[in-house]
């Protein structure tokens, strides 16, 4: 059976944005989708760790400009929120799929 092709208009690309480094939808299907998600999560993790590192540096030393720290924290927060939204949408999509009468 051929892999399920996404309904036009609702592609992974439209849901996933920058943190997930979405490129053209690969023809390979689920295996690379999983790696796409993993990449995205790694990127979120990296942003959070970067923000943590800046907070630590600021707490130890006065000379870090505070705007760098607050901006890094907000970026981390945004990417976490996005990841959470993607997770929610994916779950919804999965549930809908499962509920479909076949």
Partner 1 sequence: MNPLISAIVTKALDGLSLRAQATAQNIANVNSQNYRPLRVSFEAELAAAASHGEGAVEAVPLHVAETSIAPRGVRMDLELADQSATAMRYDALVDLLGRELSLDHTIIQGGQQ
Query: What are the φ/ψ torsions at residue 29 (nearest 5 degrees)?
Result: 90, -140
Q: How far is the CB of 18 from partner 1 (least distance, A)?
A: 18
Distances in whole angstroms, Cα of residue 32 to Cα of each of 71, 87, 89, 100: 32, 17, 19, 25
Question: Mask of contacts with partner 1, 31-70, x by CB under 8 A?
Answer: -----------------x--xx--xx-xxxxx---x--xx
Query: Which residue, 32 or 58, has its beta carbon nearer to partner 1?
Result: 58
Distance CA 93, CA 7 (A): 12
Query: Which residue, 10 or 91, has its beta carbon nearer to partner 1?
Result: 91
Q: How far is the CB of 32 from partner 1 (least distance, A)?
A: 24
Distance CA 20, CA 14 (A): 11
| 88 contributes a contact to partner 1 by CB under 8 A | yes
């Amino acid at each position: 059976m051929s892999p399920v092709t996404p309904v036009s208009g609702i592609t992974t690309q439209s849901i996933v944005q920058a943190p997930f480094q979405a490129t053209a939808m690969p023809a390979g299907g689920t295996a690379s989708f999983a790696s796409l998600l993993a990449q995205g999560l790694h990127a979120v993790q990296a942003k959070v760790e970067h923000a943590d590192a800046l907070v630590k540096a600021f707490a130890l030393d006065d000379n870090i400009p505070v705007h760098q720290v607050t901006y890094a924290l907000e970026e981390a927060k945004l990417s976490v929120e996005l990841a959470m939204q993607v997770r929610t949408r994916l779950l919804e999509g999965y549930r809908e799929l499962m509920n479909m009468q076949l």
